[in-house]
């Protein structure tokens, strides 16, 4: 995709644009595709979706600093407002499209200082496990605290948690009593 085509499709477009970088061989991309298509149809006429094959657009990926797929970029009035990497469930995709529609920037995870504090605390618990008799509990606690510092960036966690959330929030069919 050359710069002129990119400008016409993204920078000068009158509607918000969701750009997905994907590949045929990418498992998470394949899992996310049906949800992405469903959300695309829900927002038809309000938000446009451009799907770009990463294998055929390596130069564009370098220019945009995209290092893994799937990656979604959201542009509103030609300005990048959100960048998300990793597989997402339909609820997360719907939220992204809603944010794109109104031009709302995404809050991307927690603050760096919060991450550093959690990593430090987790490391202290793990270190304490080696110097005390409470090895297993402290190792588990340290692992949980360390994971809490990065879970919001873990694409597998995002996908699995959105699937579980979707299953839990499904309405149960009503029984007809005649």
- Please report, in angstroms and rounded to a whole number, the separation of the first and last CA atoms in the chain: 61
Using CA atoms in the order 142, 89, 79, 68, what is the torsion angle rounded to 10 degrees? 60
19, 29, 54, 146: the active-site residue: 29
26 in active site: yes
Cα 92 off chain centre by? 7
Contact 75/13 with Cβ under 8 angstroms? yes
10, 19, 26, 49: the active-site residue: 26
Q: How far apart are CA 106 and CA 122, in angstroms?
A: 27
154 in active site: no
Instruction: List active site positions.
Output: 26, 29
């Amino acid at each position: 995709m050359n710069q002129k085509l990119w400008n016409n499709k993204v920078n000068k477009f009158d509607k918000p644009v969701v750009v997905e970088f994907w590949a045929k061989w990418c498992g998470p991309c394949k899992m996310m595709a049906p949800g992405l298509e469903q959300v695309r149809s829900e927002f038809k006429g309000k938000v446009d979706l451009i799907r770009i094959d990463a294998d055929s657009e390596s130069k564009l990926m370098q220019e945009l600093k995209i290092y893994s797929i799937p990656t979604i970029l959201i542009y509103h009035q030609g300005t990048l407002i959100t960048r998300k990497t990793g597989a997402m469930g339909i609820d997360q995709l719907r939220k992204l499209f809603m944010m794109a529609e109104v031009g709302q920037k995404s809050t991307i995870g927690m603050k760096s200082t919060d991450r550093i504090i959690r990593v430090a605390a987790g490391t202290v618990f793990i270190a304490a496990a080696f110097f005390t008799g409470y090895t297993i509990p402290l190792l588990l606690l340290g692992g949980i605290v360390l994971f809490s510092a990065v879970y919001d960036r873990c694409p597998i966690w995002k996908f699995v948690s959105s699937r579980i959330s979707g299953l839990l929030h499904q309405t149960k069919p009503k029984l007809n009593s005649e």
